[in-house]
Chains A and B, each alone.
Chain A
């Protein structure tokens, strides 16, 4: 009985919104005071199909800069994370705290200062500029995950590989990185989601030139075409979930193949 209450609260808070979005997507004419739509129509889906090029462009652009952000944060954080997991040095806690601040303070505070410099360097309206800006405030999630990954991995594998004659590069690429994959995925997923769902920074740095899915969705949210907004929101929900599921199953298969589990 108590469990039922828990599940009911979870359903009301987190599942009901998705169900309602689906209904709105399927029933553009659903209005007050009806609690259930009178009639369903595939209008929004049809619009989606008609405009699939524009939507696919913005979607792939969003996917691209989010992936690139993940790829940029990994080399930024890898070696520093190893240092933080293994080496003690004076002022370590302070440095760690400082390195985590970009995720805590409002990103506007440094992004708008940089905006003018980015204009001067012609980095605005480019994919590169957007990725730099996104990486700059999302890297702490990758950093934290990697530090935790290095800590739980311990030093034994590295010692063993070194005793067997592996150089630092070989240790990093062939021993540590494969073992760190779960940590990379944990951190990378958060970085991906942060980048993928960001609206303001992409708008500030990307201007009109770097398409983004949030940028496509934004004007629709306050427009009268709620149905289309709902459908796009659902894509926003299911696409990352699908990506995560695909990644998980591929990895599982890979690990089985490598006989790591």
Chain B
């Protein structure tokens, strides 16, 4: 057996399901977006679903809204996560064990994290009660309407709470291999704490932060669970729009749902490629210095 065919054979346990289910699934989504292979024959033209979407301003609003929620939540999760991971890394051994509580939201499902946000931030929630106790507000309507502001703040809070420990996990894995003597050297050479963090530590952690950002950003961009509990009416997340088109309308609108999914898929792939290109270019630049 030649080495190529043996290679293909050895990869097949993963390659076959990948091609059949993942590629096949995406292929079927794309086909159905063109009105092909739909459960019922689709009377419209091939690109009708896309034309429908492109002329629909609410689709653009949802797209931009999903992007915004995903970008803000992923950026804050990575920022907070990196800072906390660094602080935990500096803790003495015994305290570092206590710090393992950070893994709690990792175990909680997304819908449970959404519930936590609901309990804390609603106008009759814990924070409103605390504000009342402190005399900051007199009735619950005076508490800012965080969850229904129209800015997706509730979803951002939930994704950030769920994403922070994930970013911490990735960054901690980098920190384990980080040589503390580099910090001591910088310290001896007179660098301030801030300077050490930004010039010595952060560049080493950057790969983990980039990975974390890509994963968290794309997850929040396309996931369904948290928006289903915390979403406001308009503009909604794209996943909710797909859900409504798929389950709450008749089969004639199926291609529209699939067209949104196709656009989401295309965007996700483009984002991964473009982001890794930019990061590689930035790192090349750093190396030349």
Residues of A at under 8 Å CB distance from B?
A: 2-3, 6-7, 9-11, 13-15, 17-18, 20-21, 24, 31-35, 75-80, 82-83, 87, 89, 95, 97-99, 101-114, 116-117, 132, 135-136, 139, 143, 193, 196-200, 214, 217-218, 221-222, 226, 229-230, 233, 236-237, 240-241
- Using Cβ atoms and an 8 Å threshold, which residues of chain A touch B164? 13
- Would you call B73 an interface residue if the criterion is a C-beta within 8 Å of the partner chain's C-beta atoms? no
- Using Cβ atoms and an 8 Å threshold, which residues of chain A touch B215? 103-104
User: What is the CA–CA distance of A76 and B229 in the complex, to the nearest angstrom?
Assistant: 34
Q: How far is the CB of A3 from chain B (nearest CB, A)?
A: 6
Total B residues in contact with A, Cβ cutoff 8 Å: 83
CB-based contact A116/B39 at 8 Å? yes
User: What is the CA–CA distance of A11 and B126 in the complex, to the nearest angstrom?
Assistant: 16
Pick the 8 closest A-B CB pairs, nearest first: A106-B222, A197-B109, A110-B25, A113-B29, A113-B28, A114-B25, A33-B132, A32-B124
- Using Cβ atoms and an 8 Å threshold, which residues of chain A touch B268? 104-106, 109
CB-based contact B133/A33 at 8 Å? yes
Of residues A75, A80, A143, which shows the largest number of chain B Cβ atoms within 10 Å of its Cβ?
A: A80
CB-based contact B28/A80 at 8 Å? no
12 residue pairs bridging A and B, Cβ less than 8 Å apart: A17-B105, A99-B15, A105-B264, A105-B269, A106-B261, A111-B25, A113-B26, A113-B258, A114-B28, A193-B106, A200-B224, A236-B109
Of residues A7, A15, A197, which shows the largest number of chain B Cβ atoms within 10 Å of its Cβ?
A: A197
CB-based contact B272/A35 at 8 Å? no
CB-based contact A20/B161 at 8 Å? no
User: What is the CA–CA distance of A214 and B90 in the complex, to the nearest angstrom?
Assistant: 37
CB-based contact B104/A35 at 8 Å? no
- Using Cβ atoms and an 8 Å threshold, which residues of chain A touch B98? 7
Q: How far is the CB of B110 from chain A (nearest CB, A)?
A: 7
Identify the closest chain A residue to B95 (Cβ).
A3
CB-based contact B7/A89 at 8 Å? yes
Identify the closest chain A residue to B226 (Cβ).
A199
Identify the closest chain A residue to B25 (Cβ).
A110
- Using Cβ atoms and an 8 Å threshold, which residues of chain A touch B219? 106
Of residues A10, A143, A221, which shows the largest number of chain B Cβ atoms within 10 Å of its Cβ?
A: A10
A6 contact from B15, B99, B104, B109, Cβ within 8 A = B99
- Using Cβ atoms and an 8 Å threshold, which residues of chain B touch A11? 101
- Would you call B130 an interface residue if the criterion is a C-beta within 8 Å of the partner chain's C-beta atoms? yes
A101 contact from B101, B229, B264, B269, Cβ within 8 A = B269
Interface string of B117-128 (1 = CB under 8 A from A): 011100111101
CB-based contact A108/B222 at 8 Å? yes
A222 contact from B88, B229, B262, Cβ within 8 A = B229
- Would you call B82 an interface residue if the criterion is a C-beta within 8 Å of the partner chain's C-beta atoms? no
CB-based contact A32/B257 at 8 Å? no
User: What is the CA–CA distance of A229 and B119 in the complex, to the nearest angstrom?
Assistant: 11
Q: How far is the CB of A206 from chain B (nearest CB, A)?
A: 15
User: What is the CA–CA distance of A99 and B105 in the complex, to the nearest angstrom?
Assistant: 27
Q: How far is the CB of A58 from chain B (nearest CB, A)?
A: 13
Identify the closest chain B residue to A234 (Cβ).
B112
